[in-house]
Chains A and B, each alone.
Chain A
Amino acid sequence: MEKAKNSSIWTEAGYDLFAAEGMEGIQVERLARILNLNKSGFYHYFGDLVGYCEELIKLHKRKADLFLADVAKVKSIDPDYLMVLVQHKTPCMFHLQLIRSKNNPQFYKTAEQIDQQEGVLVGELWSEYLGIQDHPTLAIRYFNIVRDMLYTRINFRNFDYHTLHKLMAEAKAVMQQMTDGKEIETGESVF
Chain B
Amino acid sequence: MEKHKNSAGWTEAGYNLFAREGLDGIQVERLARILQLNKSGFYHYFGDLEGFCVELLELHKKKIDDFVDEVYGIKRLDPDYLHLVISHAPTVMFQVQLIRNTNNHFLYAASEMVDRKVQSAIRELWCDYLNIPSDTSLGIRYYAIVRDMFYTRISFQNLNYTFLHKMVADAKSIMDEISDLKPV
Contacts and interface: CB of A to CB of B under 8 A. Distances in A.
Interface stretch (B41-49, B55-63, B170-178): B170-178
Nearest to B155: A102
Nearest to B176: A178
A179 B184 contact: yes
Interface of B: 21, 24, 99-100, 102-103, 112, 115-116, 119, 136-138, 140-142, 144-146, 148-149, 151-153, 155, 157-158, 170-171, 174-175, 177-179, 181-184
A100 interface: yes
Contact of A152 (B99, B142, B183): B99
Interface residues on A, range: 35 or more
22 contacts: A99-B152, A102-B155, A103-B155, A132-B178, A132-B184, A135-B177, A135-B181, A138-B174, A142-B174, A145-B149, A145-B171, A148-B153, A149-B148, A153-B148, A175-B178, A176-B184, A177-B137, A179-B181, A179-B182, A179-B184, A181-B136, A191-B137
Contacts of A157: 102-103
A155 interface: yes
A144 B148 CA distance: 12
Contacts of B153: 99, 148
A152 B149 contact: yes
A151 B178 contact: no
Contacts of B155: 102-103
B183 A138 contact: no
A2 interface: no
A-B complex: 5 closest residue pairs judged by Cβ atoms: A180-B183, A148-B149, A131-B184, A149-B148, A152-B148
Nearest to A177: B138
A78 interface: no
B61 to A, nearest CB: 18
Contacts of A191: 116, 119, 137, 140-141, 144
A102 B93 CA distance: 13
A175 B145 CA distance: 11
B67 to A, nearest CB: 19
Given A146-B145, A152-B152, A191-B141, 20 more contacts: A132-B184, A145-B149, A148-B149, A149-B145, A149-B146, A152-B149, A173-B141, A177-B136, A177-B137, A177-B138, A178-B138, A178-B175, A178-B179, A179-B178, A179-B183, A181-B136, A183-B136, A189-B144, A190-B116, A191-B116
